[in-house]
Amino acid sequence: MKHFLSTKDLTTEEMLTMLELAESYRTNHLKLDQQLFAANLFYEPSTRTKMSFLVAQKKLGIETLGFQVEDSSVTKGESLYDTAKTFESIGASLLVIRHQDDNWYKGIIDNLSVPVINAGAGKGEHPTQSMLDLLTIYQEYGHFNGLNIAIVGDIKHSRVAHSNAHALQTLGANVYFTAAPGFEDRTLDFPYISIDEAVEMCDTLMLLRIQHERHNDEQYDATSYHEAYGLTVEREKKMQDHAIILHPAPVNRGVEIASELVECNRSRIFKQMNNGVCVRMAIITTLLKEWGMHNENSTYKCSTLSRIK
């Protein structure tokens, strides 16, 4: 694996190996003993993904280079390729990129000579988010085979849904979609079920955020949407005892999910964020190893110091 761009590229073994590595980083992790630079190029807003990449990099001892589109040469018309090549030229050994184009990496990736991680591609893929969702499920069940997983909400505009559907199918889970009319994505071949069917049968309910910023003029009423298609307090009561709730956040409280459920017992929403750090550490070290930029001899072990929740 030279780059980390899409869950479609990943085999079951590759995913499980990375999840085990991520889990091991919760208690002990490597610190590189050479000075490497990572460039984090976010063309779209981000809190969780950007910040957990920063924490992951700093825990590994990697120097971080920030980038604000509006203060950069992007404002002078510089292309993504030229910007990426610039960071490579000034010494970045790793590029982490989020961009509004669903396929931003196609056409440029072959001309870059450092590993690249997709931190979100328009409505296309968000494979590192998928890996942290997988880790959260794996911590719960220890496997994926035969699990019933419902992905619920704005499927059409959700890169999270796309990456998770592919990954979970590869891993042997039964994937179902639930969407309000107009929010379906018919280009993907997964069965649609209603929210009421989903809450009763699933082991994991993966809620999605309504992507207001990707809708054009479609209007919807938050309260009606919540009643008809969201996880209400009433619906949560019908979930199986062991079933858990995921959401990539930020949460539209009272829309996809009742505000009082965000931190309920079966919610893993903040645990997902915590998992994001060790998952991204595992993705980074896997790639650096593949590129010969790190091996176990060029690192030292250190116990994880920030508190595990």
Q: At what angle do helices 127-141 and 12-25 cross, to 10 degrees?
A: 80
Question: Could you give the CA distance from residue 202 to residue 210 in angstroms, rounded to a whole number?
Answer: 21
Question: What's the CA gap between 121 and 5, in Å, rounded?
Answer: 9
- Contact call for residue 249 and a second copy (CB under 8 A): yes
Closer residue to a second copy in complex, CB, 79/223: 79
266 is in an annotated binding site: no
Question: CB under 8 A: which stretch of 4-12, 156-164, 189-197, 301-309 binds a second copy?
Answer: 301-309
- Asked if residue 276 binds a second copy (CB under 8 A), the reply is yes
Residue (43 or 144) nearer to a second copy, CB: 43
Contact flags string 61-100 toward a second copy, x per CB under 8 A: --x-xxxxxxxxxxxxxxx--xx-xxxxxxx-x-------
Of 130, 134, 248, 150, which Cα lies nearest the Cα of 192? 150
Question: 49 labelled as ligand-binding?
Answer: yes
What is the spatial distance between Cα 207 and Cα 199, in angstroms, rounded to a whole number?
11
Strands 28-32 and 299-303: antiparallel
Query: In the structure encoding, which two tokens stand for residue 126, read together?
Result: 């968000």
Residue 12 Cα distances to 136, 151, 167, 169, 286, angstroms: 16, 20, 8, 10, 15
Instruction: Report the run of H or E that residue 149 belongs to, with start and end.
Output: strand 148-152
Q: Which of 11, 12, 47, 145 binds a second copy (CB under 8 A)?
A: 47
- The three-state secondary structure class of 224 is helix
Pattern 11-40, binding to a second copy, x per CB under 8 A? -----------------------xxxx-x-
Residue 59 lies near a second copy (rule: CB under 8 A): yes
Residue 288: how many other CB atoms lie within 10 Å: 24
Residue 22 annotated as binding site: no
Residue 29, annotated ligand binder?
no
Among residues 113 and 187, whose Cβ is nearest to a second copy? 113
- Residue among 129, 274, 285, 299 that touches a second copy (CB under 8 A): 274
Q: Is residue 64 marked as binding?
A: no
Q: How far apart are CA 156 and CA 210, in angstroms?
A: 10
Q: Are 40 and 65 in contact (CB under 8 A)?
A: yes
User: Closest separation between CB of residue 155 and a second copy, Å?
Assistant: 18
- Shortest approach of a second copy to residue 36 CB, angstroms? 7
3-11, 174-182, 209-217, 231-239 -> range binding a second copy (CB under 8 A):
209-217
Provide the 10 A C-beta neighbour count for residue 171: 23
By CB under 8 A, how many residues form the interface with a second copy? 62
Please select the residue that binds a second copy; options are 253, 254, 264, 290, rule is CB under 8 A.
Answer: 253
Which residue ranges make up the site for a second copy (CB under 8 A)? 34-37, 39, 42, 45-48, 50-52, 54-55, 58-59, 63, 65-79, 82-83, 85-91, 93, 209, 212-213, 249-253, 262, 270-271, 273-274, 276-277, 305-307, 309
